[in-house]
Amino acid sequence: MTLLGWRGEPALVHAHGGETQKEKPKEVKPEPSGHSHSGSAGNGHSHGQGRSVTIGATVYKHMCIFCHGEDGNGGGKAMAYLYPWPRDFRKGVFKHRSTPTGSLPLDKDIFDTITKGIPGTAMPAWENALTEDETWSVVEYLKTFSKRFKDETPQKPVTPGPVPPTSKESIEAGYMIFKEMRCARCHGTDLKGDGPIADSLYDIWDHRAFVYDLTNPNTFKFGFDKEDIYMTLSTGIDGTPMKAYNHLTSKERWDLASFIHSRIQQDRYRKAKYEVTLKSEQVEGDIGIEPFSELWDPVPATNVHLIVLNARRDPITRVEFQSVTNGKQIAFRVQWEDPVPNRSSSRHQDFKDAVALEFALGDVLLHTHGHNEPFFGMGNREKPVNIWQWRADWQKEIETKEELEQATEGQGMDMDVMIFGGEVNPVESLNPFREVPIEEMNAEGFGTLTPQPKTKQNIRGKGLWKDGKWTVVFVRDIESLNKWDIQFNKKQPILIGFAVWDGLHQDRNGRKTVSMWQRLILP
């Protein structure tokens, strides 16, 4: 539910998922009928070379079923962890369209949604994960969920025409239209999404709708260029309370787009691709756990994009990754911006900051062998993952104990009374792994997360918050005899993922931001 749209040329990766510059659209294979995949000719449902419902079904069951469900009803196993909920395809109602409100989308519209994703939601960009033929095949398979695609033809797409220049007059005119259309009731007078009725909006499935911050370019669903905003005003976001404003003249919509575009805080834009290649650098000597060791100064850092599973204001949308190895040990340093550190260990009900690394076990390569990699969200049956989680409250607890022990050394004071008297939660303190702030676990899908036995816990690490940023280091020996540990002596790339919990947003368990799989190359 926002004024969003990407309907111009596709960006390399958009919103907070990539570069801002435009690239030339991919060439689409010619079709026997002479129609293009965009659907601009004919009914928009032409079947070109490379399309296969069978292939589409296979890809869907590997990539999409966890969120959208077996029958496309939006009720997959991950649904309980997501907000907004995944789209129900059975009604044939799509948010992203270049066609008028109420119309079916063009095939190209669905293709763009799959490849570019929807920033601000749990819908990732699959552009690097799927071949062009696989993506067109998924488009064909998605259309089997709704009878509308058999019975109806998409309407002619909206053509915005040349983008008029933005002027002081057009912005002022757009502001007056914003007031006249009562847009502030949802979007707020400051466009930050906190209007008086923002918390009482529902979609056509009676699910709560979320109103995004229009001043933040990282949460625009389909791009934040002026033309994109114009297209959303013209087509609406079907299924949500965001209606089309096609009753306004074209000039009025351009003026309104000028006003909204003028309020976007462009300097908040953050670049980070959904999938990147990460590298571990060779170093000499021992590797310690200190987050700000000089060891890390020359090591290249790479930004990794995080997907927001639960819509919120100012989400953490990227982490900065570094890795080193000396042949015997391997270490990872993860940093992310967080203006408020949440690390209380005195109250169990408090929410804490945390970060986790996830590794795919077994002989898997990303997007090869028929996409045999585990699901990036906790793995799946017979495709286990190894997870290392650091928590700020565990770090605080360890530091508190160390400080008390040093302060009371030789004074004969009862440490149990002091620690359990309020500085450290007594129930949490019973955890046998609390000598380090990291716990090693395994999972084979949702609801299967299991800690490894204490004798198998072999990760060391430390986290520090400084100048509005968390910095966490994980260290492990390269060799491990535990079959449930990731093996770092393989020649092929390691699949690694990330998750961040923000205590400020009451994150816990499945409420978090996560990355897709990344390839980690060892020296």
DSSP class of residue 452? Answer: P
Among 14-28, 82-96, 445-459, the range scoring the smallest mean pLDDT is 14-28
Give the ranges where 12-131 is alpha helix by DSSP (H): 53-63, 65-68, 107-116
Q: Residue 94: pLDDT above 60?
A: yes
Q: Give the separation between CA 423 and CA 413, rounded to whole angstroms.
A: 15
Query: Which residues, 6+ apart, have CB-to-CB distance to 492 below 8 Å?
Result: 363, 365
Q: 299 or 429: which carries more pLDDT confidence?
A: 299
- Which residues partner with 302 through β-bridges? 321
pLDDT in tens, 104-115: 999 999 999 999
pLDDT at position 404: 75
Which token pair is 73? 């009803």
Choose among 18, 29, 23: nearest CA to 107: 29
467 — pLDDT class (breaks 50, 70, 90): very high
- The answer to whether the Cα torsion of 239, 241, 247, 248 is positive or negative is negative
pLDDT in tens, 476-522: 999 999 999 999 987 889 999 999 999 999 998 889 999 999 999 99
Q: Residue 145: pLDDT above 60?
A: yes
Residue in this structure with the two tokens 């019973």, named with its chain if needed:
430
Query: Which residues, 6+ apart, have CB-to-CB distance to 453 below 8 Å?
Result: none
Q: Give the separation between CA 105 and CA 93, rounded to whole angstroms.
A: 8
- Which residues partner with 476 through β-bridges? 330
pLDDT at position 350: 75
CB of 517 within 8 A of CB of 366?
yes
pLDDT at position 26: 39
CB of 41 within 8 A of CB of 298?
no
Q: DSSP string covering 185-201, please?
A: HHH-TTSSS--TTGGG-
Helix, strand or coil, per DSSP, at residue 74: coil
Q: DSSP string covering 217-275, please?
A: GGG-SS--SHHHHHHHHHH--TTSS----TTS-HHHHHHHHHHHHHT--GGG-----SS
Label residues 130-149 b or e (16+ Cβ within 10 Å = b).
bebbbbbbbbbbbbebbebb
Which token pair is 198? 């923002």
User: Do the strands 302-305 and 318-325 form a parallel or antiparallel pair, or are they unpaired?
Assistant: antiparallel
pLDDT in tens, 403-440: 777 776 656 555 555 444 454 555 454 454 578 999 99
Distance of CA 73 to the CA centre of its chain: 21
pLDDT at position 5: 36
Of all residues in the chain, the percent with pLDDT exceeding 90 is 72
Calculated CA dihedral for residues 123, 127, 128, 130, nearest 10 degrees: 90
CB of 280 within 8 A of CB of 324?
yes
**Mean pLDDT score, 1-11:** 37
pLDDT at position 8: 35
Q: What share of the chain is helix, strand, coil (3-state, %, to 5)?
A: 25, 15, 55
pLDDT at position 347: 64
401 — pLDDT class (breaks 50, 70, 90): confident
Give whichever of 19-28, 161-170, 307-316 has the largest mean pLDDT. 161-170
Choose among 427, 426, 339, 433: nearest CA to 391: 433
pLDDT in tens, 46-80: 444 578 999 999 999 999 999 999 999 999 999 99
Choose among 34, 38, 30: nearest CA to 10: 38
Of all residues in the chain, the percent with pLDDT exceeding 70 is 84
Q: Give the separation between CA 206 and CA 212, rounded to whole angstroms.
A: 18
Q: Residue 363: pLDDT above 80?
A: yes
Q: Which DSSP helix (H) or strand (E) runs through 407? A: helix 392-407
Q: Give the separation between CA 455 and CA 405, rounded to whole angstroms.
A: 26
Which token pair is 510? 């499945």
- Main-chain dihedrals φ then ψ at residue 466, nearest 5 degrees: -155, 130
Which token pair is 394? 């565990």
Which token pair is 64? 């999409």
Query: Which residues, 6+ apart, have CB-to-CB distance to 410 below 8 Å?
Result: none
pLDDT at position 47: 42
Q: What is the pLDDT of the chain when averaged over all its residues? A: 86
Give the ranges where 87-221 is alpha helix by DSSP (H): 107-116, 132-142, 148-151, 168-180, 184-187
